[in-house]
């Protein structure tokens, strides 16, 4: 057919462990179809390949040689990849983690769209939510991105709680230099900080099918708190169920996964995708 090959085409991939059920490839491919571009999204599953993060240098070299335009990066490679890249965006540098790599003219630039995913989801679904005092549970890789997003959204006082105090301190130290002093701190007394909070964010894996439970006792929830979640498998976690039963405003973790994807797509292609296509595709893949 004439003109078939004049469409821009892109080859991208996802590197990580246990990514067989990832919704990212179908979301990207559906958005590309809607935008009228050719787009092939390959899963490079370290579990299936029986490899660990130590294989990253080889995989990146192969991706470059095979003409990949970009890569998404997930667990356990988001930090291991840092020294292997030619350049980091300011956001990736601030967070010390990369989830998106753009490959241009043989150069690899690392970006972090996780924080954007959380912020965009919050902006769309929590308009007018009070941002005075917020308590975040979890200080892992996702936790750093979520904390960065919350401070960018305008949270005045962010308290980070993690069972590993050193991890919480490391997120606080990493972000303190970039925001007004005193806006982010480590917390330990859950009861006290929850009582004074406007909102609660779960950035831990607690609530996933394999880590059942809630990050804080549900007795500490109250109707005037808002609750945000990053877990999206299942979409309704025990925390969200308890919060909704009380009448709290809530936002689930699906949007973070969707909007980190829309921003990665834009970085890969230079085209802003239709977010509704991402939303619809995500929903069609089950809750």
Q: Give the Cβ contact number of residue 150 at 10 Å.
A: 26
Residue 228 CA neighbour count, 13 Å, CB half: 33
Catalytic residue (one of 42, 78, 152, 167): 78
18, 10, 67, 81: which is closest to 264 by C-alpha? 10
78 catalytically annotated: yes
> Whole-angstrom Cα distance, residue 43 to residue 105?
23
The owner of tokens 């069609």 is 284
> Whole-angstrom Cα distance, residue 23 to residue 71?
15
> Whole-angstrom Cα distance, residue 287 to residue 284?
8
Q: Listing from the earlier edge strand, what are the strands of the sheet with 9-16?
A: 38-45, 9-16, 70-73, 100-104, 107-111, 87-88
Q: Which residues contact 69 (CB under 8 A, 6 or more apart)?
A: 10, 11, 12, 102, 103, 104, 268, 269
Asked if residue 256 lies in contact with residue 27, where contact means CB atoms within 8 angstroms, the answer is no
Per-residue tokens: 140: 């892992």
Residues that are catalytic: 78
């Amino acid at each position: 057919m004439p003109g078939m090959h004049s469409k821009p085409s892109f080859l991208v991939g996802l590197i990580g462990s246990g990514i067989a059920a990832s919704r990212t490839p179908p979301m990207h491919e559906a958005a590309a179809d809607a935008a009228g571009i050719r787009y092939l999204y390959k899963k490079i599953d370290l579990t299936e390949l029986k490899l660990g993060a130590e294989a990253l240098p080889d995989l990146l070299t192969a991706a470059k040689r095979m003409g990949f335009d970009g890569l998404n990066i997930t667990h356990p490679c988001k930090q291991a990849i840092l020294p292997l890249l030619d350049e980091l965006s300011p956001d990736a540098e601030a967070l010390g983690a990369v989830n998106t790599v753009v490959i241009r003219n043989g150069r690899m630039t690392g970006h972090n769209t996780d924080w954007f995913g959380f912020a965009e989801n919050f902006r769309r679904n929590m308009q007018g939510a009070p941002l005075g005092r917020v308590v975040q549970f979890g200080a892992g890789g996702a936790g750093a991105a979520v904390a960065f997003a919350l401070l960018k959204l305008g949270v005045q006082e962010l308290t980070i709680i993690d069972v590993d105090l050193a991890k919480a301190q490391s997120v606080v130290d990493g972000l303190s230099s970039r925001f007004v002093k005193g806006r982010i701190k480590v917390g330990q007394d859950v009861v006290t900080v929850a009582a004074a909070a406007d909102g609660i964010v779960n950035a831990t894996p607690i609530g996933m099918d394999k880590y059942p439970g809630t990050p804080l006792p549900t007795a500490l929830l109250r109707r005037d708190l808002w609750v945000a979640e990053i877990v999206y498998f299942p979409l309704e976690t025990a925390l969200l169920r308890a919060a909704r039963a009380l009448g709290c405003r809530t936002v689930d973790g699906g949007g973070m996964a969707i909007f980190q994807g829309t921003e990665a797509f834009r970085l890969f292609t230079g085209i802003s995708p239709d977010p509704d296509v991402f939303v619809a595709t995500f929903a069609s893949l089950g809750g």
